[in-house]
């Protein structure tokens, strides 16, 4: 078992539903509640921001220098665009799953012109040039905050 000092969680995870509390914390750990719009500094210059929430879903932006990784996680595309129109445009990496393409056509994600798309599902990717998490595929991303390298 790995020791856990802190747990970052959004309101979508922390809200009790029908008397159930989905998050059980290890003893002696600290809960850090990430609320929408608040940037949490993970390390100097590296921030994690909740950019949108819906029932049981939370979208995140991870930023380091000029590098921006976006994880919509099924949060409504229109809500994300309304929150911060420039945030999605030109992201360095979009991490998408079937939750993100079930109601939004893949072409809309492609129109954002991300440097790369990681298809985070074992299901067949609707993106021709996406990196995938299929069994046996390795994905590596490196950044210095300005440039991004993927393989």
Q: Enter the tokens of residue 76.
A: 């409504």
Domain ranges, residue 105: 35-150
pLDDT tens digit sequence for 24-80: 777 888 888 888 878 899 899 999 999 988 877 889 999 999 899 999 999 988 888
Rounded distance between C-alpha atoms, residue 59 and residue 117, angstroms: 16
Does residue 73 belong to any structural domain of this protein? yes
CA angle 75, 78, 41 (to 5 degrees): 55
pLDDT above 70: percentage of residues in the chain: 90
Does residue 21 belong to any structural domain of this protein? no
Number of domains in the chain: 1
92, 67 contact by CB (below 8 A): yes
Given this model, what pLDDT does residue 94 score? 93
Rounded distance between C-alpha atoms, residue 100 and residue 79, angstroms: 13
Does residue 129 belong to any structural domain of this protein? yes
Please identify which residue in the block is written with the tokens 């996680």: 73
Given this model, what pLDDT does residue 19 score? 59
* Residue with the larger pLDDT of the pair 21 and 8: 8
Does residue 53 belong to any structural domain of this protein? yes
Given this model, what pLDDT does residue 21 score? 63
Does residue 28 belong to any structural domain of this protein? no
pLDDT tens digit sequence for 66-78: 899 999 999 988 8
The alpha carbon dihedral of 84, 88, 90, 95 has a sign of: positive
pLDDT tens digit sequence for 6-16: 888 887 777 66
92, 68 contact by CB (below 8 A): yes
Does residue 114 belong to any structural domain of this protein? yes
Q: What is the pTM of this model?
A: 0.83
Given this model, what pLDDT does residue 60 score? 92
109, 94 contact by CB (below 8 A): yes
Mean predicted lDDT score pLDDT of the chain: 83
Given this model, what pLDDT does residue 20 score? 64
Rounded distance between C-alpha atoms, residue 73 and residue 53, angstroms: 9
Given this model, what pLDDT does residue 69 score? 93
Nearest Cα neighbor of 70 from 44, 97, 45 is: 97
Does residue 140 belong to any structural domain of this protein? yes
Does residue 70 belong to any structural domain of this protein? yes
């Amino acid at each position: 078992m790995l020791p856990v000092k802190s747990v970052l969680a959004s309101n979508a995870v922390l809200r009790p539903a029908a008397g159930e509390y989905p998050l059980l914390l290890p003893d002696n750990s600290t809960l850090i509640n990430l609320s929408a719009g608040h940037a949490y500094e993970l390390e100097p210059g590296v921030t994690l921001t909740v950019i949108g929430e819906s029932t049981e879903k939370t979208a995140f932006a991870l930023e380091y220098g000029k590098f921006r990784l976006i994880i919509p996680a099924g949060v409504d595309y229109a809500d994300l665009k309304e929150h911060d129109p420039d945030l999605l445009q030109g992201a360095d990496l979009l991490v998408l799953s079937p939750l993100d393409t079930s109601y939004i056509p893949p072409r809309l994600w492609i129109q954002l012109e991300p440097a790369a798309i990681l298809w985070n599902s074992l299901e067949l990717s609707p993106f021709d040039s996406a990196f995938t998490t299929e069994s046996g595929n390795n994905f590596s991303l490196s950044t210095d905050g300005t440039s991004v390298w993927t393989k």
